[in-house]
Structure 1
Amino acid sequence: MHNTGEAVSTITQDLDQSGELRRRARERTPGGVHSNVRLDGPDVVLARAKGSRLHSVDGVDYVDYLLGQGPALYGHAPEFLTSAVHEASCDGLIFGGQSELEVRAAELVCETLGWAEMVRFGLTGTEAVQAAFRLARAVTGRTHVIRFEGHYHGWLDNVLLADHDGAWEAASAGQVASHLDDFTVLPWNDADALGTVLERDGERIAAVIMEPVMINSGVIEPETGYLERVRRMCSRHGVVLIFDEVISGFRVGPGGAARRYGVTPDLALYGKALGGGYPVSALAGRADLLNRIGTGEVNHSGTFNAWAPGMAAVIATLEHVRDEPPYTSIMAHGGKLMDGIREIGESFGESLRVEGLPVAFHVSFGDVEVTDYRSLHQLDLKRYASLASVLVEHGVWVARRGVWFVSEAHGSAELDDALTRFEMAFKDWLGR
């Protein structure tokens, strides 16, 4: 067990300033937050983020394993990134025309991925998904798309889903349910199920979209041979294979999941780590497909697409991925952190399940083999969510859904603090 003799101030700090700011926020902002993902988040107001830590307005520090939902591959506000963006900002933000920065950024994306021939930049992963759908429908002349249970592709009407007693339906009031009619939802990691649908309906299916490693829910890897079979079936039926690598891209390695698992999609979507924390997304893929946008046949527009500071962020991030790759450091820290969390659970006689990749992993309670959304939900996810709230109280900033992200900025001091605080939080949580 870890040394708990040194008091951690986070559990005794008053949150007076956070409380007052949260009260004011609720008066002018629905729910007091600007993304519904944060509605069940900690009732804390943050003042700054640097490296691997967050600091609240109340003077509390948190070891951060959420990393803004994953973008901060090198930690918060690394000097190489903020300097590059500041320099670019001094020369202008948006031009309404082309810049050298966007040319260099596009070249770096394609070189770093190793398989993509062209790229179009945007701001968010949500909009990149929609661009991929439009392009796939244009090149195939078909309308239907196959997707998978538990995979997240944005919050718009045609992609936002919720599981209602086994049926995947609209997740929000006001959502137009008919916009989901062109989608079939299948269990992931089940190539036979996909093959059955493609054999039956292949002539009307434009695309298959998936997270090639299911990080958003459970950090679940593809089973051996699964992606290869999907690739072969899509090619046989003339279906565009789309990898949603908004989370996995550049996080699981310089070539993303496509290179990690050795399977090349037709199109792929990137975001989050692509800009190191700045809002940038990308649609990348085969030139013969993306050129349909370049001719004007398929529309893809946006005032802030390839905005200059965002392109500077892409260049700075990917140059560091090339010249100072963070993956060895991240893997080492993540592996030790995973082992330490398991050991703490065992020391209290609890079955803490810690699985995934050291760059991103999942923590919950249970002892089942997890291969897809259904098996993930055989774990006691609600019990872990309650633990996550106590972890935040003790200075470990994590998501209630169980996904932990690791950055290059996490070092030995953070590892020691995180495990010490985790143990104290666990003991406190068990006593409640």
Structure 2
Amino acid sequence: MKTDRSRQMLAEANQYLAGGVASSLRAAMKPTPLYAAGGKGARVYDVDGNEYIDYLLAYGPLILGHSHPLLNEKVYQAMQKGYTFGLQHEGEIALAKRLTEILPCADKVVFSGSGTEAVMMALRLARAYTGRQKVVRFHGHYHGWSDAIFTSFPSADMKSQAAGSAAGEAVPGTGGQSVNSLEDVILLPWNEPDVLERTLTERREEIAAVITEPIMCNSGCISPREGYLEAMRKLTEQYGIVLIFDEVITGFRLGLGGAHERFGITPDLMTMGKALAGGIALSAVAGKNEIMNLVAEGRVDHLGTLNGNTVSTAAAMAVLDELGRDNGAAYRQMERIAGQLAEGIRSLMKKYNVNGVVNQPGPVFHMMFTDQQEVAHFDQFGRRDAAKYGLFAELMLDEGILLRPNGLWYVSAVHGDKEAEETLKAVENVFAKRPEFTA
């Protein structure tokens, strides 16, 4: 794999762009951060002429793959009328109405630009609604990088590690973060109902919200234990605590109704982003009338120059149309290919005596090198060999496969049997050629 041009462009970028990349995550790619030249379908091309099957998918948003024709056409049509106005337009109504129709938790919605903004809004709504301040969050979950919720995070492509947070202390995730910013955060282990019940019972008068990923996508794609989310819903209802599902990843990826529809549990609020507009910046908060109406009453301000602009709302409508076509054929395709990949990788691990685990809850999965038989808890996830996976991701680039260095794989609606076959052949090539992966 040639990377000369990418390396030259990174050196040039470093003269003008702090760190040489536009998001700190991207600096972790080895052997060098790549520069894209274009993409089509499930494949992306870099400036050195290399072609890759893409499982990074822009860190999740490209649920329809690259340059999807319907999405391109709808965005182009919207742009002809004007990008944004600072006024209302028909697209806002159409998208808001569609979301209230397909999301079980959504009586009303508000629009923002990023998942981080959506979480900020959800937390403000919860505090205003309850009159309380504390927020329960969980080890290994990620809710954006705002000061009030961003804790040190154990990811191979983030420099800040979770030193100290395992003991229950919410450690700031970055330099420059306010030392007082996390005073209202109560950090708990996930998937432990007794700990949750004890904390909510003892501190119910303080706690405004519990915020959780319904599936622990950012740390191992760990699924909730049987009855855990149900218990969380029951306890929060009992104590008047707002339950927030952070579905920035799982929203529209596990189904049009998100993970909460899949699990049959209705949170009070839901945040969404990433796949919502297929790669165009858009996020949203959805929830119950009595909470969302705090915006209409002026008790909670909702601000943002580009909120609900014509391009983003048109993109989201196109994505939802495509995902809903033929009774959800896109989801059946994504689930099938993701399952094919996950089972194929497991079989290759067994064939080549490679110790590892693949957790696959849907069209997203996490691959880990570990001596453990399963990874069903955050502590187990923390014992994986992250450095070995980083090497694996680097070697897979040579095989024409683009992966995120932390082990999280995304599958799009345009990944097919050909891509799966080529990918599994690449995995086999790496395992066969490199003895360091053998147990």
Residue matched to 2:163: 164
Structure 2 gaps of 5+ residues are 153-161
Runs of 4+ in 1 over 4 A off after TM superposition: none
Residue matched to 2:401: 396
Whether 1:362 and 2:366 are equivalent positions in the alignment is yes
Shift of 1:360: 0.5
User: Greater CA deviation, 253-262 or 410-419?
Assistant: 410-419
Whether 1:132 and 2:117 are equivalent positions in the alignment is no
Alignment of 1:22-421 (within 5 A): 22-42=10-30, 43=32, 44-162=34-152, 163-165=162-164, 166-167=166-167, 168-324=170-326, 325=328, 326-366=330-370, 367-421=372-426
User: Greater CA deviation, 22-31 or 211-220?
Assistant: 22-31
The one-letter code matched in structure 2 to 1:16 is D
Shift of 1:332: 0.9
User: Greater CA deviation, 143-152 or 416-425?
Assistant: 416-425
Q: Distance in 2 between matches of 1:368 and 1:200?
A: 36
Q: Distance in 2 between matches of 1:86 and 1:382?
A: 42
Structure 1 gaps of 5+ residues are 1-12
Q: Distance in 2 between matches of 1:215 and 1:126?
A: 16
Residue 136 of structure 2 aligns to a residue in which SS?
Answer: strand
Residue 364 of structure 1 aligns to a residue in which SS?
Answer: strand
Equivalent residues of 1:109, 1:318 under 8 A apart:
no
Residue matched to 2:7: 19
Q: Size of the alignment, in residue pairs?
A: 420
Residue 175 of structure 1 aligns to a residue in which SS?
Answer: coil
Q: Sequence identity, in percent?
A: 39
Q: Distance in 2 between matches of 1:382 and 1:205?
A: 38
Equivalent residues of 2:119, 2:144 under 8 A apart:
yes
Shift of 1:431: 6.2
Shift of 1:262: 0.7
Q: Distance in 2 between matches of 1:156 and 1:312?
A: 27
Shift of 1:222: 0.7
User: Greater CA deviation, 277-286 or 163-172?
Assistant: 163-172
Shift of 1:400: 1.2
**RMSD of aligned Cα (Å):** 1.4
Q: From the superposition, tell whether residues 172 and 309 of structure 1 become closer, same or farther in structure 2 (CA, over 3 Å).
A: same
Task: Provide the TM-score with structure 1 as the length reference.
Answer: 0.95
1:55-81: CA deviations, max 9, x gaps? 011111001111111111111121001
Q: Distance in 1 between matches of 2:349 and 2:185?
A: 41
Equivalent residues of 1:147, 1:208 under 8 A apart:
yes
Task: Provide the TM-score with structure 2 as the length reference.
Answer: 0.93
Q: Distance in 1 between matches of 2:198 and 2:409?
A: 35
The one-letter code matched in structure 1 to 2:25 is V
Equivalent residues of 1:333, 1:358 under 8 A apart:
no
Residue 340 of structure 1 aligns to a residue in which SS?
Answer: helix
Q: From the superposition, tell whether residues 25 and 427 of structure 1 become closer, same or farther in structure 2 (CA, over 3 Å).
A: farther
Q: Distance in 2 between matches of 1:351 and 1:239?
A: 42
Residue 365 of structure 2 aligns to a residue in which SS?
Answer: strand
Q: Distance in 2 between matches of 1:429 and 1:65?
A: 22
Residue 179 of structure 1 aligns to a residue in which SS?
Answer: coil
Shift of 1:158: 1.5
